[in-house]
Structure 1
Amino acid sequence: MTTLAAVRRTVSALALAALAVGALVGPAHAQEEPLPVTVTGPDSVNLSLHPEPGEPGEPGEPQIELGLRAPGEPVPDENGVIYPIHQGDYTVTVDASSLAGVAAVDFSGLGGWRGCTVEGLVATCSDYEIYAGADYNDLGGIRLDVTDESAAGDVGTIEVTAAGEGLAFTGHTVDVLVGGPELQMKQLAEPAGFKAGDTFQAPLSFRNVGGLGGKGVVLRVSGTRGISLPSTFGNCWYDPRDPDDPRGWSTALCVFDSEFAGEAAYGLSTPFPVGTAGFALYDVLSYSFSAVPADQVADLLAEGDYRAGTGPELGLVRLPDADPAGYTRYAELDFPTKNTFDLDLSGERLRARKGQTVSVDVGFADHGPAWLASIRSGGEPISFWVDLPPGTTVTTAPEGCRAADWEGAEADYLCFVDTPILEDASRTFTFGLRVDQVIRNATGRAFFSYQMPNEGNPANDSGEIVLNPRGWH
């Protein structure tokens, strides 16, 4: 089977051959400048002394991805083919000699090459083509693991160099540190008796499970629509949620120019107040502490529309009796859990003659007090069924509803409502029905096939659609 890469090489080789022939018969030209190419990769890697399974850095997953960046960006021709801007042998040397006794090095992730040789902690790999930009110049990955010899504070480097005729390479250095600062967050729990509208005095704290300490910590606190972060601290900056985006988050960044030790825990000098709205239900509160030097804080603040807080500064205090079992890499809390919403499905009652086409409205509403966000499901819609009165034919179906013509369907139509559903949301689904046969009290209904958790009023979860009701004039 011929691969696209093989086709590209063949076509490119023919093109280069044609250029070579032209060069033999054409006028002489000055030698072109070498093509500048830069080796890309991370600047540094911090190796945990105790990586957690299932997290980035687990065994087998490379922490270092290398590549090349050449001038320009790849542009396909009229046939969609992208050609290299250079063809000719070149080699890349990855020298990890300084990691002897610091970490184990696995070069097996260096893929996409015509050949690699490994001698000790040095890998030499060769290839032939270079494309514009970086997207098509992936060199592969390198995996690092701590060993029994590794100790907190061990350092080393990986030096990446390259050479090839007609190419001017800029190499790259990756600094490697073992046991650097690695902050885990205290797990949070909803307070007993907490209800929507209350303020959660969040006891935020971190434990440095790295062997080394540092200076400079940033706290990031984020919350979904039902959560508010009062601007009460002078060393915090606040980026409020866009009020027109129900899926948006509000965020606070708090900066501490404090030193912290290895294998030690620290908490806030006062609890962090987190407000909740009366409509809040399973909103998400997320927080994290990061070891960030003071000179990098400005870059974080530039990522949002942050405004400085007011009031006294928030501080950090050491917690000598922190239980290591209570800390995790990621800390989130879904709350409040005790609120309810009231979803309401309503039908319609009307008269119609044979052959007449009528519009029948099915109403959907949330009477609150809570919204239905479905944050954890990524905004997955909820659904309800519609059974139409007998003796009728659907002429038009509303957007969001589809005919249930599959085996096991519970009614004639299945309708969908996107989430989040606000606490005062309402919507009308209008069906066009042609009356083929007049049946007194012909009855259909709209209904949910199950009762959702936190539904506060199941009595109105279905509504009747009645044509020509008895005794109705």
Structure 2
Amino acid sequence: MTQQASRRLGPLGTLGLAAAALLVAAGAAGTAQADDAPLPVTITGEDRVGLSLESDNGDPSEPQVMLRLNAPGEEFEGDGVIPPVFTGDYTVRIDATALAGVASVQLPCAADGLVAVCTGSELYAGERYNRLGGIRLDIDEDSEAGDFGSITVTGEGEGLDFTPLTVDVLVGGPEFLNHELPLPGDYRAGDIYRAPVGLRNAGGMSAEGAVLRLHGSRGVSFPDSYGNCSYAEVTTGPLLHQGTDVLCTFPDTIDAGTAYALTEPLRVRTADFALHDIFTYAFTAVGPSEAAGLRAAKDYRPGTGADLRLRKVPDAEPAEYSRYADVDLPTTNTYDLELTGAAVDAEAGDTVTAEIGFRNNGPAWISALRSGGEPIGFTVGVPEGATVTALPEGCRSTTLEGGEEGYLCWVSTPLLEDAELTFPFELRVDRVVEGAKAEVALPEWGNPFESDHANDSAWIVLNGSDGSTDGGTGQTDGGTSGGTAPPGPGQDGDSGSSGTSGSSGSGGTSGSSGSGASGTSGDVTGGGLASTGAGGAALIGGAALLALGLGAGLFLFLRRGARHTGGTAA
């Protein structure tokens, strides 16, 4: 039987008699359609699998081909019974006999040797709920370089018209590994990195052509333009996905067991704001026609200079080549995160707004590319005699170091090099306490990329005598927010707040969002009663933040995450 999804996505009790009647009618309509004209059904799945003689071909428990049936109509969304578009018996036959002596095969459904038959009685719109199962392929003792075979998948059923699927399997074909990229020890933002880009064909067969895919994140650019390359700049949308993509085609024959390099190092430039930006590349064995299809998938512009070319590298060291090739550029830049406080005067019973400012003074942005955009957190205490009655977006209540009640606010990353955000806290003065204050603080995280820790804390002051709100000796202009940052940028989930920002520098954008500052973690409370202040809050340390369950996301010296895969440029 097919591995169909459960037909019930919620309790039947949620369906009224009218809804049930509509579902019955939908089933009848599907059958009626099958009686009038065959329902077109497409068998979907990977149509090409290459098996390596050099590597392990991935997790042996994971199939390389997942078979599904795609029926007309829009996929069902919501709760309740999934209405079928067809009811009636059908069979799907998977024939892998052509792979005898080529590779070992694991088939789904009722398999007899290299043939399996799957059966079903209902089809649903789309392909999500019409899963047949997976096909796992591996080399065996008979597998040799150049062995080739196909799997054919066909279907039949009264009232159905199946489009079959053919899965081509090649053993020991071209297998490209990429020359590893060394990290230059003295590289700084604004410099040009000369990348030793190259490949080695570790497969058992030559390739007729290759495609080189380059990707640079927002702070990376490629100053040269080559005639056999196409370029696409992404300057809108989430900051995580902004950058430059390049496709270069090579018609050369790439011989098996042979290494190649570009005839000249590839020049890679970084912007002045770059920090832990990523440059990555990958060669793939793709012919000219397939390369044209890749280029058409994105708005690429053709290069204008001479062609980029390959040369053979004799006596190449195989250990210097791997599946992925990427490097962080640079690793030595810094940024300056600054918090600004607020000083307000009020009588008992008054409600006032204390606007907390958060600013990145640069010069670097916080890319957070390896971690996927982990947020920065800072804590906010409550002055004695006051109660927080409304929170900005991105803040939630927490317990501060020392057991005092306060708030934790989040700033999402990536964070632009000139980002300015405002977090307005609404305070009700229950009783007047002269000079009541509470601290606003970033964690004492020992961050090597933070250039100035002196402005990592500030104060909320109620009815103070001199209006001082910074962590040192700074003054405010009597009763207003002391140096409070103006509204800052909002970029599709990246470091947003109310208002807009100034220029974001090369390759960046300015953005805006709704009111309040954005946050990516924690419950956001829009108002209601909150904690009552009872004195200043101590600067919260890194260990205390971990105790609050914030995890390593607050330590933004950008731990190296999972390897960034090559080939992200296409």
Flag whether TM exceeds 0.5 (same fold). Answer: yes
How has the CA–CA distance of structure 1 residues 409 and 336 changed in structure 2, closer, same or farther, with 3 Å as cutoff?
Answer: farther
1:87–1:128 Cα contact (<8 Å) kept: yes
Q: 1:240 aligns to what SS in structure 2?
A: strand
Q: Deviations over 1:175-199 (max 9, x none)?
A: 2110111112222122121001101
Q: Deviations over 1:317-358 (max 9, x none)?
A: 112232222222222222211000000112133444444433
Pick from 175, 178, 190 the counterpart of residue 171 of structure 2. Answer: 178
- Out of 174-183 and 40-49, give the one that drifted further: 40-49
- Out of 255-264 and 160-169, give the one that drifted further: 160-169
Partner Cα distance (1:165, 1:457) in 2: 74
Residue 390 of structure 1 corresponds to 384
Q: Name the amino acid aligned to 2:53.
A: L
How has the CA–CA distance of structure 1 residues 255 and 462 changed in structure 2, closer, same or farther, with 3 Å as cutoff?
Answer: same
How has the CA–CA distance of structure 1 residues 117 and 341 changed in structure 2, closer, same or farther, with 3 Å as cutoff?
Answer: closer
Equivalences for residues 10-21 of structure 1 within 5 A: none
> Does residue 458 of structure 1 match 2:453?
yes
Partner Cα distance (2:463, 2:434) in 1: 5
Equivalences for residues 71-90 of structure 1 within 5 A: 71-73=72-74, 80-88=81-89, 90=90
Q: Deviations over 1:258-284 (max 9, x none)?
A: 110112221111111111011101111
Q: Name the amino acid aligned to 1:463.
A: A
1:344–1:461 Cα contact (<8 Å) kept: yes
Residue 448 of structure 1 corresponds to 442
1:105–1:121 Cα contact (<8 Å) kept: yes
Aligned-pair identity (%): 47
Deviation at 1:366, TM superposition (A): 0.9
> Does residue 312 of structure 1 match 2:306?
yes
1:224–1:284 Cα contact (<8 Å) kept: yes
Residue 61 of structure 1 corresponds to 62
Partner Cα distance (2:351, 2:155) in 1: 76
Q: 1:134 aligns to what SS in structure 2?
A: coil
How has the CA–CA distance of structure 1 residues 448 and 121 changed in structure 2, closer, same or farther, with 3 Å as cutoff?
Answer: same
Equivalences for residues 261-280 of structure 1 within 5 A: 261-280=255-274
- Out of 289-298 and 400-409, give the one that drifted further: 400-409
1:385–1:410 Cα contact (<8 Å) kept: no
> Does residue 344 of structure 1 match 2:338?
yes
- Out of 171-180 and 272-281, give the one that drifted further: 171-180
Q: 1:295 aligns to what SS in structure 2?
A: helix
Pick from 25, 40, 46 the counterpart of residue 42 of structure 1. Answer: 46
> Does residue 124 of structure 1 match 2:117?
yes
Partner Cα distance (2:70, 2:428) in 1: 65
Partner Cα distance (2:421, 2:78) in 1: 49
Structure with the higher fraction of residues in strand conformation? 1
Q: Deviations over 1:270-307 (max 9, x none)?
A: 11111101110111112111111011222111122211
2:8–2:80 Cα contact (<8 Å) kept: no
Q: Name the amino acid aligned to 1:328.
A: S
Root-mean-square deviation (Å): 3.1
Residue 498 of structure 2 corresponds to none
Pick from 184, 193, 198 the counterpart of residue 191 of structure 1. Answer: 184
Q: 2:187 aligns to what SS in structure 1?
A: coil
Deviation at 1:359, TM superposition (A): 2.6
Residue 226 of structure 1 corresponds to 219
1:86–1:131 Cα contact (<8 Å) kept: no
1:386–1:411 Cα contact (<8 Å) kept: no
Q: 2:234 aligns to what SS in structure 1?
A: coil
Q: 2:250 aligns to what SS in structure 1?
A: strand
1:40–1:66 Cα contact (<8 Å) kept: yes
Residue 106 of structure 1 corresponds to 106
Residue 211 of structure 1 corresponds to 204
> Does residue 362 of structure 1 match 2:356?
yes
Residue 233 of structure 2 corresponds to 240
Deviation at 1:132, TM superposition (A): 4.3
How has the CA–CA distance of structure 1 residues 133 and 47 changed in structure 2, closer, same or farther, with 3 Å as cutoff?
Answer: same
Partner Cα distance (1:395, 1:431) in 2: 8
Q: Name the amino acid aligned to 1:47.
A: L
2:82–2:124 Cα contact (<8 Å) kept: no
Partner Cα distance (1:68, 1:439) in 2: 71
TM-score under structure 1 length normalisation: 0.85
Partner Cα distance (2:367, 2:305) in 1: 33
Equivalences for residues 370-385 of structure 1 within 5 A: 370-385=364-379
Q: 2:239 aligns to what SS in structure 1?
A: coil
Q: Deviations over 1:397-422 (max 9, x none)?
A: 32222222599867511111121211
1:213–1:261 Cα contact (<8 Å) kept: yes
1:187–1:326 Cα contact (<8 Å) kept: yes
- Out of 365-374 and 225-234, give the one that drifted further: 225-234
1:76–1:82 Cα contact (<8 Å) kept: no
Q: 1:412 aligns to what SS in structure 2?
A: strand
Q: Deviations over 1:78-126 (max 9, x none)?
A: 96531241302x333322222121111112xx15xxxx141x3222333
Partner Cα distance (2:354, 2:41) in 1: 67
Residue 321 of structure 2 corresponds to 327
Partner Cα distance (2:348, 2:24) in 1: 75
2:84–2:122 Cα contact (<8 Å) kept: no
2:225–2:305 Cα contact (<8 Å) kept: yes
Partner Cα distance (2:380, 2:400) in 1: 14
Partner Cα distance (2:6, 2:234) in 1: 46
Deviation at 1:378, TM superposition (A): 1.9
Deviation at 1:6, TM superposition (A): 9.0
Deviation at 1:201, TM superposition (A): 0.9
Deviation at 1:75, TM superposition (A): 5.9
Partner Cα distance (1:323, 1:135) in 2: 46
Q: Name the amino acid aligned to 1:43.
A: D
Residue 96 of structure 2 corresponds to 96
Q: Name the amino acid aligned to 2:295.
A: L
How has the CA–CA distance of structure 1 residues 403 and 125 changed in structure 2, closer, same or farther, with 3 Å as cutoff?
Answer: closer
> Does residue 469 of structure 1 match 2:464?
yes
Residue 401 of structure 1 corresponds to 395
State the number of aligned residues.
447
Partner Cα distance (1:187, 1:76) in 2: 45
2:7–2:81 Cα contact (<8 Å) kept: no
Q: Deviations over 1:176-229 (max 9, x none)?
A: 110111112222122121001101111111122211111111111111111112
Q: 1:404 aligns to what SS in structure 2?
A: strand
2:173–2:206 Cα contact (<8 Å) kept: yes
Deviation at 1:391, TM superposition (A): 1.9
Partner Cα distance (2:301, 2:404) in 1: 52
Partner Cα distance (1:327, 1:158) in 2: 33
Partner Cα distance (2:114, 2:237) in 1: 55
Partner Cα distance (1:439, 1:76) in 2: 56
- Out of 309-318 and 41-50, give the one that drifted further: 41-50
Partner Cα distance (1:36, 1:365) in 2: 57
- Out of 268-277 and 321-330, give the one that drifted further: 321-330
Deviation at 1:444, TM superposition (A): 1.2
TM-score under structure 2 length normalisation: 0.72
